[in-house]
Structures are given as structure tokens and as C-alpha cells.
Amino acid sequence: MLGIVRRKAAFGGVSASKIWIRSFSGAAKELTVRDALNSALDEEMSADPNVFLMGEEVGEYQGAYKVSKGLLDKYGPKRVLDTPITEAGFTGIGVGAAYYGLRPVIEFMTFNFSMQAIDHIINSAAKACYMSAGQISVPIVFRGPNGAAAGVGAQHSQCYAAWYGSCPGLKVLVPYSSEDARGLLKAAIRDPDPVVFLENELLYGESFPVSAEVLDSNFCLPIGKAKIEKEGKDVTITAFSKMVGYALKAAEILSKEGISAEVINLRSIRPLDTSTINASVRKTNRLVTVEECFPQHGVGAEICASVVEESFGYLDAPVERIAGADVPMPYAATLERIAVPQIEDIVNAAKRACYRSVPLAATA
């Protein structure tokens, strides 16, 4: 907890109703992930009075990571609600509000704290529509930073994509870029079902190029559709959240060695865009999955199952899975680095899939 508190002071932000964009002569405009999320929240709250934000430090402190900066001043304390440190309490209130037609956005300071509220997320929100025969919809968003950060230990470093992705009734989104963050958060807030929105703390300050279309207030991305970030013909690499950036860097390295990698940004864990994944594998005939989650029962395992079921005859090599180490996250920086996937791990896996290196068993 102290590690999180110490980092808060380092995060800046922008006021609501303003999107600070860096523009360079002859280059695309750029927007940080933090500002993309802030602008999406601002626009959806402006468009729909039923949308409100609730969580720890979202108001007076303007968000632990300044994602909600300026929203309290603009919309007031009835729509931007600071809560005590009681995730079970304010999550339950949010679900109840959604039952009655409001559209709450529940912020967790870290998704590790969502475990205090998991009964409301799973039993109260995710199952309500089915158990009521469609009579109760629960339009609620659970959002906040997910996955490994830096130096915060095992209890603040878990990836919950596979946890929540296994639960029917939830939609699970995992943005990577500013375009993802803005378009997917708008889609999540407008959706009639509960959405788990997994951000990444280390991406908040990252800037990405955005088009005029992305900055339009009507911009929205479809839920359940992956994006091909880079086309290739030799190997498919699937990734989500921060790992998309790692996969793209690995693809650059591989291209210098004559390997053309196709990089797929999943964007959505549930529903999972298996059509795009399988179409890519049928073209490249090889697959590498990348994630920060634990390897057992992970997102990569689900992707592997889909490819084996639908595209097994197209595979020219065993599927390679890159995931976090099967241990609680170490606190020591040297061990922490070993416990999460690195760019070189992706490069080596792609080489193995393309038979360009010594097999993994031979190097063990």
C-alpha cells in the first residue's frame, strides 16, 4: 500500500472538458492513456445524467492516478462520489444503483482490491440478467489498474483478465493504446451489461497517436473485436494491455532477422475474438500467445484451445505460450523482472515456432 501511496504524487493529469493533445508538424496528434480515459468519462457523463463515478479518492484527490481530474468540479459530489476504504460497500451500492437504471462507474484503486467486492461483481452483477430471465439489466463498469506495476509485491501485482474472463455474464475489456482506452470505455459505459475494464498503471502516462475520428465525441469501439496492430505472414502473436507494446517491439526485432510477425491486440477478453485469431493462424501457421497472467488456466490457454479446435490442421509448429511465472510476484526488482514476460521471451518463442533457434527443451 505504501508503494502505491508514494507513486500517487508522480501522476499528473488534465482538467475535465479539456483534452491535452501534443501535435507535431507533419505528425499525428498524440494523447496519453490517462487523458483518453478522462475525456471518455467526461463526455459520457455529459451525455447521460445517469452516469456517475464512485470510488476511493476519485473526487477531492481527483483520482489516485488522476484519471478523474476535474470531474468533481464539473459534475459535483452527487455524481463524483468519494468513498471510504470499503470496496464491498461501494461496489454493492453501485450494483444496486444499476438495478434501478443508473450507470455507475466503479473505480478500484487497484484491481487487487476488487477481491474485497468479488461477491457483488460475480453474484450480484454478472448473474442478475440470467437469473431474472432478462428482466434486470446491470449497466455498470468496474475499472482501475490491473496487472504488475513496479515494486508493489504479490498482493498488488496480479492480472485479473483470466479470473473475470471465465465468468459468464461479464464483459472484460483490456485497452492498450489511447484509442483503445477512449473507445472501449465509452462502449463499456453505454453497454447494458456489467463490464470489467482492466487498465494498466504503467500505461497511464504513455502517449499514442490518435486520429480526428478518435477524438470525436461519438467515437466508440465495438466490444469483442480484436485489432491487428501489425500484419505479418510467418507467425501470429496475440497480446493484450501492456504486452501489446512488448509484442510490437518483438516484431520489430524479428523483422530484422527475416521473420514477419502478425501482432493482434485482443482488446476484449470476454467476448474473445476467436475469428480474427484463427484467421491469422490459418495465414501464418504459427502462434505465440503473450500475457502477464499466471500460465495455468490463463487467457493464452483459452486461445490455444480455440486454435486447436478450429485450426489444428493449419499449424506447422507447436503453439508457444508466454505468461507470468507461476509464483506470487516477488518484491525484489531482479526477481520481479524474471517473473513477468520480457521482449526477449517473445522473440525467442517466435523463433522457436519458426524453427530458427535451439528448442526450449535443449536449453533447459
To the nearest whole number, what is the mean pLDDT of the chain? 91
Minimum mean pLDDT among 21-35, 68-82, 154-168, 220-234: which range?
Answer: 21-35
Q: Is the confidence at residue 214, as pLDDT, over 60?
A: yes
Q: Which of 43, 44, 56, 87 is catalytic?
A: 87
Q: How many CB atoms are closer than 10 A to CB 24?
A: 9
Residues of the chain above pLDDT 90, percent: 86
Name the band, by pLDDT with cuts 50, 70 and 90, for residue 17: very low
Q: Residue 150: what pLDDT?
A: 82
Residue listed under C-alpha cell 490459418: 282
Q: Is the confidence at residue 27, as pLDDT, over 60?
A: no
Question: What average pLDDT score do residues 297-318 get?
Answer: 97
Name the band, by pLDDT with cuts 50, 70 and 90, for residue 346: very high
For 235-267, the pLDDT digits (tens) are 999 999 999 999 999 999 999 999 999 999 999
Kindly give the pairing relationship between strand 51-55 and strand 103-107.
parallel
SS3 content of the chain, % helix, strand, coil (to 5): 40, 15, 40
Question: Rounded to whole angstroms, how far apart are CA atoms 250 and 347?
Answer: 5
* Inter-residue contact 191 to 202 (CB < 8 Å): no
Name the band, by pLDDT with cuts 50, 70 and 90, for residue 295: very high
Q: Residue 15: what pLDDT?
A: 43
Residue 87: active-site member: yes
Question: Rounded to whole angstroms, how far apart are CA atoms 143 and 242?
Answer: 16
Question: What average pLDDT score do residues 265-285 get?
Answer: 98
Kindly give the pairing relationship between strand 141-145 and strand 103-107.
parallel
Q: Which of 156, 179, 262, 336 is catalytic?
A: 156
Question: What average pLDDT score do residues 296-323 get?
Answer: 97
- Check residues 20 and 310 and name the one with the higher pLDDT: 310
Angle at which helix 178-190 crosses helix 33-47, to 10 degrees, equals 30
Angle at which helix 299-311 crosses helix 274-284, to 10 degrees, equals 60
Name the band, by pLDDT with cuts 50, 70 and 90, for residue 358: low
